[in-house]
Amino acid sequence: MDRRAFSLSLLGLLASTALVRAEEAVFLDYTRDTLDKAYDQRVWAPDAQQIIARYARDSEEVRKRFPPRTERYGSREAETLDIFAPAGARALPVMVFIHGGAWRALGSKDASAPAPTFIENGCLYVALNFDNIPAVRLPEMVDQCRRAMVWIAGNIAAFGGDPGRIYLSGHSSGAHIAGVLLTTDWAAHGGAPDLVKGGLVMSGMYDLYPVMLSARSSYVKISPEELAALSAMRHLDQVRCDMIVVNGDRESPEFKRQSQVFASALAGMGRLTSRLELAGKNHFEVPEALNDPASAVSKATLQMMRG
C-alpha cells in the first residue's frame, strides 16, 4: 500500500471511529441526537406555535369575562400573580398554576384560560408569574415560586381562599417546578409542613439528569448539586400530599417515560390519585384539558380539591 492509499485508509478509519463514537448511547439507548429530539417537543408537535398562540388568545378572553386581581409577592417586576375568585368567595379551595415554556418563555397572562373551570366550581384559581431564563437561573425561578406559595398561604384568605386547602398544578417546565415544590420541605422555607394539599403535574420532567445531557443544557446552566436539588424524583421522602400525573400519548418518548416513572413511584408510596394519558394529545395540547370542566383531567382535579 502506497503512502497516499495508507493516508486515505487512515482517514476513513478515523472518520468511521468518530461516527461510531458520535452514535454511542448517552442515556439508556439514546444517542445525543435522539436524546435532543426526545426533549424537544416541537419535533413531535409541528403545530406547536398555533397552540401556544391559542393559550394567549383564550386567556385574554377569560380575563375579559373574569377580571383577576393582580397582586405582588416580591419586589422584582415579574413577581406577581393573578387571582381569579367567584363572587362572594369565602374559605374556598385554591388551585395555583405554574406555566410552562421550557423555562424561558410565557407568563401568567398565558395561563388564565383554566380559570372558569375552577371559579365556576367553587374554587379560586391563581396563575403565577416569575422570571424566565436568562433573566434568572433555574434555581432562582424555583425560589420565586416557593416564595409565591408562602405568600399565597399567608394572604389568600383576604381574597376568599382557604389557606388550609391550597393545591398546585403545572405543565411542562411548570410541572417540573411544581414537582420540585411538591417535594419541598416547606418548614425550611417559612411555610407549614403541609402547605400544599395536592398536586397536578402535566407533561413534566422529574429528574433533570437526562435533560441536562440534551441540548437543553445549552441554556439551563446548573451545577451537579443543583441538578440533584431540582429533581423531584430524588426527594420523594418530602412528598406530603397526593398527586395526579398526566401526559399526552403524542408526546416525545422521554416525557412519557418521565411521567410514567414518577407516577409509578408515587403509586408505590400510596400517593397517586390518578394517572391519565390523554389520547390523541400532543405536549402543547395537554394543559388545555383544564379549560374544559368536563374533561377527565378537570374532573379528577376538582374531585381531589373537594376531598
Q: Each residue of 137-187: pLDDT tens digit?
A: 999 999 999 999 999 999 999 999 999 999 999 999 999 999 999 999 999
pTM: 0.92
Mean pLDDT, rounded, for 267-284? 98
Residue 124 pLDDT > 50: yes
Which three three-digit cell numbers place residue 230?
A: 431540582
Tell me the pLDDT band of 307, cut-offs 50, 70 and 90. confident
Mean pLDDT of 206-222: 98
- What is the average pLDDT value for the chain, to the nearest integer? 94
Is a pLDDT exceeding 80 seen at residue 21? no
Q: Which amino acid is at 64?
A: K
Contact 169, 202 (CB under 8 A): yes
- Res 253: pLDDT: 97
Express as a percent the part of the chain with pLDDT over 90: 92
Instruction: Say if residue 34's pLDDT is above 90.
Output: yes
Residue pair 125/108 in contact by the 8 Å Cβ criterion: no
Give the pLDDT confidence of 48-72 residue by residue, as tens digits: 999 999 999 999 999 999 999 999 9
Q: Specify the amino acid at residue 29.
A: D
Q: What is the DSSP string of the chain?
A: --HHHHHHHHHHHHHHHHHHHHTS-SBTTB-HHHHHHHT-GGGT-TTHHHHHHHHHHHHHHHHHHSPPEEEESSSSTT-EEEEE--TT--SEEEEEEE--STTTS--GGGS-TTHHHHHTTT-EEEEE----TTTS-HHHHHHHHHHHHHHHHHHGGGGTEEEEEEEEEEETHHHHHHHHHHT--GGGGTS-TT---EEEEES--S-HHHHTTSGGGGT----HHHHHHT-GGGGGGG--SEEEEEEETTS-HHHHHHHHHHHHHHHHTT-EEEEEEETT--TTTGGGGGG-TTSHHHHHHHHHHH-
- What is the mean pLDDT of the segment spanning 22-37? 92
| Residue 231 binned pLDDT confidence (cut-offs 50, 70, 90) | very high
Q: Is the pLDDT of residue 16 over 60?
A: no
Looking at the DSSP bridge assignments, the partners of residue 30 are: 27
pLDDT band at 17 (very low <50, low <70, confident <90, very high): very low
> In 3D, which of 115, 147, 151, 155 has the Cα closest to residue 131?
147
Looking at residues 236-241, what average pLDDT do you find?
Answer: 97
**Is residue 238 pLDDT above 70, yes or no?**
yes
